[in-house]
Structure 1
Amino acid sequence: MSFISSGWQWIKRHKGKLMVASGVVGGFVVLNRYLSAVERNWENSSVKDFVSEVRKKEMHFDNTIQTCNTTVINLTPRALSVLDNLLNCETLLDKLKSSASSEEKLLLWEELKIRIITRITSEIYSLSLFVCFSRIQLSLIAGYLYVDCCKNGTTPGIINKNIQMYYLSLLETFFTQGIQKLIQPIQESVIQAVGSISLKERIELTNLKEMFDKIKANMNFFMNSPDFKISQYLVTTSNHARLNDPPATSTPNGQTSPTPEASSSSASSTSSNSTFSSSSTIPIHNLSAKDMAIIQNMLIETEDLLESEDFKKVINSTIDVGYSIMMDLLVGCFLRIDSDPGIETNNGFKNPHTQSVPFAKLLPPLNNTLKERGKSSDEALSLVRHLLCTDVINCFSANVYESFSGDSVQKS
């Protein structure tokens, strides 16, 4: 009892201190719970914001890829038309029909051999570059646009419509200059690989594959040379020089006065429904000095991307896909050739790998196959559709987009 009594007396003596201590402990517990709740709410809010931004970027990127795929498919016939015009075989076939001299016919057949193989190979490289260039351009500009979108109108956007159209019109350079420039080394590679093969030599499918393997090896050597720049087919010195022209002056009434060159360019321009329109449809006087500086920076960034080691891996992978698709085309061509009987099964199937035909006899069916593919949209787009689904292109496009939109929160 004495122990209980002394304890009670102690409590009564220190009652004030105990009340203060209890208040402090209780307050600490309540404050700790409050702070924990605030922290949880902040974490949940941060996670929601992060997830929301990721989903928003994902949707924006998916829309970009869909737009790019649609645009590429719509413009592929133009790329094929450029190849057909530059490597037209019909004129040679007409000359063969009208030629009387055997020596002249032999020269025409040799030229036809080089031109047809060059046409097939050029389609692989041109469409591969076309798809990769388009993806890089739209992924880069989509990153800029996402940053502008995240600003919520607090500051003016970096990319206006004129900048978008001028930058995207770079692909016009590829159509008008790049493809023609690309054909030159391809033709040289074809001559090295095929030039010594006689027109009378019997060709099997394996021989044809060996020819294209040699062409591919020659092109790999060319594209891996120290002086080679793949960006030359998309961004030329004229693109940079045009942006270095002095900006337009203003007239007394406040309107922009175009330079004679810009005025002529504007007058001769034509409207286009394509995403990638000609740069001549964007008069240079419509761009301010700030716009020109932004485009110049975008051109430099594009060149850096195109010359990167990652892009070299991407373009090599797409070219490999292109050769695979073309070999499927050649197999079908062999099946349609009326050649010497190969090994036949009971159902009449001819194994294309056992057939052999004189090289000269193979050329017209190859040319006819290219013409038939041009008439059928599905067959003409088969290579492009495969390229657009290539994982390496999609991953590289995502990396480009993320690089130019990843700091959107800090920039906004």
Structure 2
Amino acid sequence: MSFVAKFGKRHKKKLIFSAILFGGGYATVKYSIHRFKKALLMSSEDADLVNKQYEKSQKLQHYYTIKKTSDEAIRGLLKSIENQISIALSSDEYLEQLKHKAPNKLELWEKIKISSISKCLSTIYSLTISTILIKVQLNIIGGYLFKSSSSESTFLNFEKSLISEEKLSPNIQKKYLENIEIFVSEGIPKLCAQVKNCVVCVFEKLSLKENIDIAYFNEKLESVRENVEALNGKEINFINELLNLRPNKPKDKEINEIILAEKKNSENNDEGILLDNLNNETFDLVQSDDFIQTFCSIFDSYKNEFLNNLSSLILKQKIDKNESEKISLSLPLAKLIPILNQMKLTCDFNILENNLKLNIFSSNIYEAFCYVPEDRRNSDPLSGIDVNMILKSLI
């Protein structure tokens, strides 16, 4: 012990210096390794963050493309909708008879009354249904296409949709979007007939001499609306009836699996399965509470636009006639009918851009159908569309 103590005392400074040197070196190496690992981790996190932001930007850009396409498609349908309504509810024959001084003049005016009011209300319904149907279908397709491209694979398997391991080809997209054409060519005439019957019930006993203001006319339109929407049963609402959408889901699960297995034997039947399931997805959405709420919001927007235009035309007529009395937005029904007949089908751009429920409903559909489950993703989860960001830019 004495030798060790003497050695330690003799080389005390050297031992302290050596301890500091080796201890400091060890600490420096450990700290450097820690900083290096932290730098690598931060670099990886930064790269992931950049990737997520890029993916989010791509999704948002794709969503806006779908929105622009759907808005243009709605405007492109205006002429076809107007033609179908004009054919179904034409009053030209009655007007021609009036020109030739037909003896049943009052009866003809009654028919023109029903026809003109039915035409206006059918226009509002047709625009509303077309707007939401186009938004629903294009956002379903857009969501699936984005999911397919982002996952670098074909469709992922969903229990709900049964769309699996298939590509959404342009041919399938075209066939699916034919639902819109079917509504215009077949659904609108059916809608016009339903609306006309309900207009007869509400307006038939309303005298042509009765003074009508905008508020009272709106009340009558709402009465017609209640009758129209109460025509069909509870299981399938009147919109699905007009779209001719039917759920193609056998009740027995085993029978369903057998049918699907048999259908997968040929390419044509595979397309049929995809179309069936796309239509099933559409059917489910049309039956949802969100759809009904969005429908009511869009219907009210188009109806308010129609009533505003009607008010402007009434006011213009009164000003043109230089009426000296206090101007009021009311006319005898007989004078209101020609104004209703001359009103043209329009689609206000602001309704498509600024309707809150429509934008939320559309973005939710897109997000739902481009969602990639956590355990099936090839990379980090895609962040969802920032709905608040979308709405702020739209409002």
Q: What is the Cα deviation at residue 19 of structure 1?
A: 7.2
- What residue ranges of structure 2 are gaps of 5+ in the alignment? 156-164, 251-258, 379-395
Aligned to 1:293: 273
> Relative to structure 1, is the Cα distance of residues 63 and 8 closer, same or farther in structure 2, using a 3 angstrom cutoff?
farther
Q: Deviations over 1:337-382 (max 9, x none)?
A: 469989748xxxx7342x432x223212321x23xx3xxxxxx333
Q: What is the Cα deviation at residue 204 of structure 1?
A: 3.0
Letter in 1 for 2:280: I
Correspondent of 1:382 among 347, 360, 363:
347
Aligned to 2:335: 361
3-state DSSP of counterpart to 1:100: coil
3-state DSSP of counterpart to 2:277: helix
Aligned to 1:147: 147
Q: What is the Cα deviation at residue 38 of structure 1?
A: 1.4
**Separation of aligned partners in 2, 1:28 and 1:157:** 53
Alignment of 1:240-389 (within 5 A): 288-337=268-317, 344=324, 351-353=327-329, 355-357=330-332, 359-367=333-341, 369-370=342-343, 373=344, 380-383=345-348, 385-389=349-353
Q: What is the Cα deviation at residue 62 of structure 1?
A: 1.1
Q: What is the Cα deviation at residue 217 of structure 1?
A: 4.1
Is this contact kept in 1: 2:248–2:280, CA < 8 A? Answer: no
> Relative to structure 1, is the Cα distance of residues 216 and 360 closer, same or farther in structure 2, using a 3 angstrom cutoff?
same
Q: What is the Cα deviation at residue 408 of structure 1?
A: 7.8
3-state DSSP of counterpart to 1:288: helix
Is this contact kept in 2: 1:148–1:157, CA < 8 A? Answer: no
Q: What is the Cα deviation at residue 304 of structure 1?
A: 1.0
Aligned to 1:51: 53
Letter in 1 for 2:97: K
Letter in 1 for 2:356: D
> Relative to structure 1, is the Cα distance of residues 154 and 78 closer, same or farther in structure 2, using a 3 angstrom cutoff?
closer
Stretch deviating more after TM superposition (396-405 or 326-335): 326-335
3-state DSSP of counterpart to 2:237: coil
Aligned to 2:371: 406
> Relative to structure 1, is the Cα distance of residues 176 and 55 closer, same or farther in structure 2, using a 3 angstrom cutoff?
same
Aligned to 2:382: none
**Separation of aligned partners in 2, 1:85 and 1:7:** 115
3-state DSSP of counterpart to 1:91: helix
Correspondent of 1:73 among 66, 72, 75:
75
Letter in 1 for 2:340: L
Q: Does 1:93 align with 2:95?
A: yes
Aligned to 2:243: 234
**Separation of aligned partners in 2, 1:72 and 1:326:** 17
Q: Deviations over 1:291-350 (max 9, x none)?
A: 2222211111111111111111110000010110110121133235469989748xxxx7
> Relative to structure 1, is the Cα distance of residues 63 and 321 closer, same or farther in structure 2, using a 3 angstrom cutoff?
same
Q: Does 1:38 align with 2:73?
A: no
Q: Does 1:396 align with 2:361?
A: yes
Normalising by structure 1, we get a TM-score of: 0.74
**Separation of aligned partners in 2, 1:8 and 1:331:** 110
Is this contact kept in 2: 1:131–1:387, CA < 8 A? Answer: no
Aligned to 1:269: none
Correspondent of 1:203 among 203, 208, 212:
212
Q: What is the Cα deviation at residue 82 of structure 1?
A: 0.6
Identity of aligned residues (%): 24
Aligned to 1:126: 126
Is this contact kept in 2: 1:133–1:234, CA < 8 A? Answer: no
**Separation of aligned partners in 1, 2:232 and 2:290:** 14
Stretch deviating more after TM superposition (109-118 or 332-341): 332-341
Is this contact kept in 2: 1:144–1:158, CA < 8 A? Answer: no
Q: What is the Cα deviation at residue 45 of structure 1?
A: 0.8
Q: What is the Cα deviation at residue 112 of structure 1?
A: 1.7
**Separation of aligned partners in 2, 1:239 and 1:106:** 50
3-state DSSP of counterpart to 2:77: helix
> Relative to structure 1, is the Cα distance of residues 150 and 206 closer, same or farther in structure 2, using a 3 angstrom cutoff?
closer
Aligned to 2:201: 192
Is this contact kept in 1: 2:114–2:196, CA < 8 A? Answer: yes
Q: What is the Cα deviation at residue 58 of structure 1?
A: 1.1
Aligned length: 353
Is this contact kept in 1: 2:122–2:195, CA < 8 A? Answer: yes
Q: Deviations over 1:167-221 (max 9, x none)?
A: 1111121012211222233223322321221122222333323322333444455
Aligned to 1:213: 222
